[in-house]
Structure 1
C-alpha cells in the first residue's frame, strides 16, 4: 500500500533539506588539521569558518566546496589557485600552500588509521632537509599522491586475493552462493576500477596543462621569482611517476575484471549445457513414453470386450504382443533418431531448398546468353 500524500511530501522535503544542507554560504564550520612551514602540527581538528578560510587564503567559496567532506564529490580534482593547490583525491582533501598544509578532516570517515599514517608520513616528508630538496609544496603533494597510490595498491591486493579465492572455488564446484560472491566481487572490482581511472584522469589532466604546472611553483611565487610556462620539468617528473603507478593499478584491475567476466561466461556456458542435457533427458523420456503409449494402443483396442473372433486362436496373444512391441520399439527408435539429428548443430548445416541447390558462378546477364559456339 503506497504511503499517503502528506507522508510523501514530508519525505521529499527531508531529502531536499539533507541535499541542501551543504549549500549554506558562509556559516558552516570546517574541521581542519594545520601543519606549519617546519612540518609541525600546529592545529589538530580545529574548527574554522568557511568565510575566514576564504579571506585568509584568497579563495572563492566554490573552491572550498570541492574539499568539503560533507558534500559528496566522487570526481578527484587537483586545482591550482593564486596562493594554494587544492587537492581532493580519494580520502585526502587538502589545501597546500608555500609554507603550510591544511588537511580537511572527513566527518564520519572510517579511514582514521589511513589518515594517521598519511599525517605521519607528511610530517616526516616536510621535515626532511636532505638534498636534492624539493620545494615545500611539492613535498606535500608527493606525500598526498603517495598516500593515494598506497591506498589504491592495498585495495587492489585485497580485491586480487578475494577474486582469486572465489575463482579457485568455482573451478571445483559451482553453486548459488559462490556465484553470488562472484557477482559481489565483480561489483567491487568495477567500483574500484572507476575510482582508479578517475585518479589517473585527474593526473593526466594536470600534466596536459602547462600553465597549471607552472602555477604550482608556489615558493617561487612567494619570492617573486618569474618562471616560464614551459619550465616545470621537476613537477612533471613527479606527477608522471605517480601517474605510471596509477596506470599499472588500472591495468591490473582491468585484467582482473577480464578474468571475472571470462569466468562468468564460462559458468553461463556450463549452466546452459547442463540445462540442455536435462531438456534432452526429458525429451527422451517423453519419446519413450510415446512409444509405450503407441504399443498399448492395440491392448486398449482388445480391452473393449468386443468380439474379434481371435479369442480361440492359440497364438493370437503372442502375435498381438509382438506387434505391440514392434510398434513401441519402432516409434521410440524413430523419435530418438529424429532427436539426435536435430541436436546436431553445425555452422555449415542448413535447411530448405536453397541449401541443396548447387552453387553456380555469377555471370553478367549478357554473357549468360552466349553459347559454346558464340553469340546466338
Structure 2
C-alpha cells in the first residue's frame, strides 16, 4: 500500500491516541483533568478527578480564575471573592472554597499535607463546638487559642434563676464554613513564611558576626548569598501582605466573600423582587409605601466586621514577618561591595 499524506496523518493520530491511552497522566493534561481533594463541612474528604469545565460549572468560576491555581503557572499570591466561591492562591496552598466544600490541588504534596490535616481537624472540631453551643446552656466554653479563633465573642447578658442577678459572659459566634477554611489557609501560609524567615535569621546573624570579626572574600560571599535569599523571601511575604491589605481596604471585596450569607439572602431578594413587581402593578400600601422599602432589602450587605478581624490578625502577623526580614536585610552589606 502506498503511503500518502493522508495515510501519514492517520498513522500519526493513531500513534498519539495509543500514547495517551498508555500514559494516563498525559491524558489528564490533554483533557484538563486534575485530582482535587474535596473536604466537606463535616471534615470528610475524598479525591475526585475532575476536568476544568466541571469545576467551572460546580463553582461558578471563570477560566481565568482557575488559571491562578495552575501549579505550572507562576501567579502572585491572591484571594479572590466571587459569587459562589473564594479562590485562594497562597504559597503552597491552591484551593477553591465554597459555602459547602473546599477543593484542594496537590493534596499529596508534602508541603500541602499538613494543611489538609489541619483543615479537616479544624472543621470537625468547629462542628462539635457549634453543636455544644446549641445544646448546652453552660455559661463557660473553652475557646481554642489561635491567632484568630474560629469563634468570635461578644458580651451578652445571661440571667440565672434570680432575675435580679445578671452575668456578662462571652457568647460564642461560629464563623461560617468559608471563613473557617480561609483562616486555615492564612494560618498555614503565614506559618510557612514565618518558619522560613526564622531559618534565615538563624543563618544571617552568625554570618554577619563572622563578617564583622573577620572581613574576607569567603565571609562576604556567604553573606551575599544569604541576602539574596532574604530579598527573595521578602518578595514572597510582601505579596501576601499586599493581598491582605488590598482586601482590608475594600469592603465590597470582603462582602463578596460572605458565601453562606449570600445563600441565605437569595430567597429574601427573590421575595423582594416579587413584592416590587406587585407594587408596579398598582398594588400599593395605604400608608404610601413604595418599592424603596423592598429595594433596601435587596441591597443589604453583610457586616464585614468578622472577616475584617480575621484578616487584620493575619495582616499583623505577616507584617511582623516582613519587618524581621527588613531588619536583617538592612544589616547586610549591599551586593556591590568588593574588596
Report if TM-score (shorter chain) is over 0.5: yes
Quick one: which of 235, 258, 265 aligns to 1:217?
A: 258
Residues 26, 50 of structure 1: alpha-carbon distance in 2 compared, 3 angstrom cutoff: farther
Name 2:69's counterpart in structure 1: 67
Name 1:151's counterpart in structure 2: 192
Query: How far 1:72 sits from its partner (Å)?
Result: 2.0
Aligned-pair Cα RMSD in Å: 2.3
1:178 aligns with 2:219: yes
Structure with higher strand content: 2
How many residues are treated as equivalent by the alignment? 237
TM-score by length of 1: 0.59
Question: Is the CA contact (8 Å cut-off) linking 1:84 and 1:97 kept in structure 2?
Answer: yes
Residues 26, 214 of structure 1: alpha-carbon distance in 2 compared, 3 angstrom cutoff: farther
Query: How far 1:47 sits from its partner (Å)?
Result: 2.2
Name 2:77's counterpart in structure 1: 76
1:35 aligns with 2:76: no
Runs of 4+ in 1 over 6 A off after TM superposition: none
Question: Is the CA contact (8 Å cut-off) linking 1:26 and 1:51 kept in structure 2?
Answer: no
Which moves more between the two structures, 121-130 or 24-33?
24-33
CA distance in 1, matches of 2:177, 2:308: 16
Query: How far 1:187 sits from its partner (Å)?
Result: 0.5
CA distance in 2, matches of 1:64, 1:163: 38
Q: Which runs of 5+ in 1 are unaligned?
A: 1-23, 272-376
Aligned partner of residue 205 in structure 1, secondary structure? helix
Deviations 1:1-33 (A, max 9, x none): xxxxxxxxxxxxxxxxxxxxxxx9983122211
CA distance in 1, matches of 2:102, 2:44: 10
Name 1:372's counterpart in structure 2: none
Question: Is the CA contact (8 Å cut-off) linking 2:261 and 2:302 kept in structure 1?
Answer: no
CA distance in 1, matches of 2:255, 2:226: 42
Question: Is the CA contact (8 Å cut-off) linking 1:26 and 1:50 kept in structure 2?
Answer: no
The 5-angstrom pairing of residues 1-376 of structure 1 reads 27-43=31-47, 46-73=48-75, 75-105=76-106, 112-127=109-124, 128-129=126-127, 130=129, 131-224=172-265, 228-229=300-301, 231-261=303-333, 271=339
Aligned partner of residue 174 in structure 2, secondary structure? coil
Deviations 1:204-239 (A, max 9, x none): 111111111111111111222667337210000000
Q: Which runs of 5+ in 2 are unaligned?
A: 1-27, 130-171, 267-297
Residues 230, 32 of structure 1: alpha-carbon distance in 2 compared, 3 angstrom cutoff: closer
Residues 154, 165 of structure 1: alpha-carbon distance in 2 compared, 3 angstrom cutoff: same
CA distance in 2, matches of 1:26, 1:99: 29
Query: How far 1:104 sits from its partner (Å)?
Result: 1.2
Query: How far 1:63 sits from its partner (Å)?
Result: 1.1
Query: How far 1:148 sits from its partner (Å)?
Result: 0.7
Question: Is the CA contact (8 Å cut-off) linking 1:25 and 1:61 kept in structure 2?
Answer: no
Query: How far 1:56 sits from its partner (Å)?
Result: 1.7
Deviations 1:262-309 (A, max 9, x none): 7x79x76xx5xxxxxxxxxxxxxxxxxxxxxxxxxxxxxxxxxxxxxx
Query: How far 1:91 sits from its partner (Å)?
Result: 0.9
CA distance in 1, matches of 2:30, 2:100: 26
Whose Rg is larger? Answer: 1
Residues 54, 230 of structure 1: alpha-carbon distance in 2 compared, 3 angstrom cutoff: closer
Residues 249, 228 of structure 1: alpha-carbon distance in 2 compared, 3 angstrom cutoff: farther
Query: How far 1:101 sits from its partner (Å)?
Result: 0.2
CA distance in 2, matches of 1:212, 1:195: 22
TM-score by length of 2: 0.65
Aligned partner of residue 162 in structure 1, secondary structure? helix
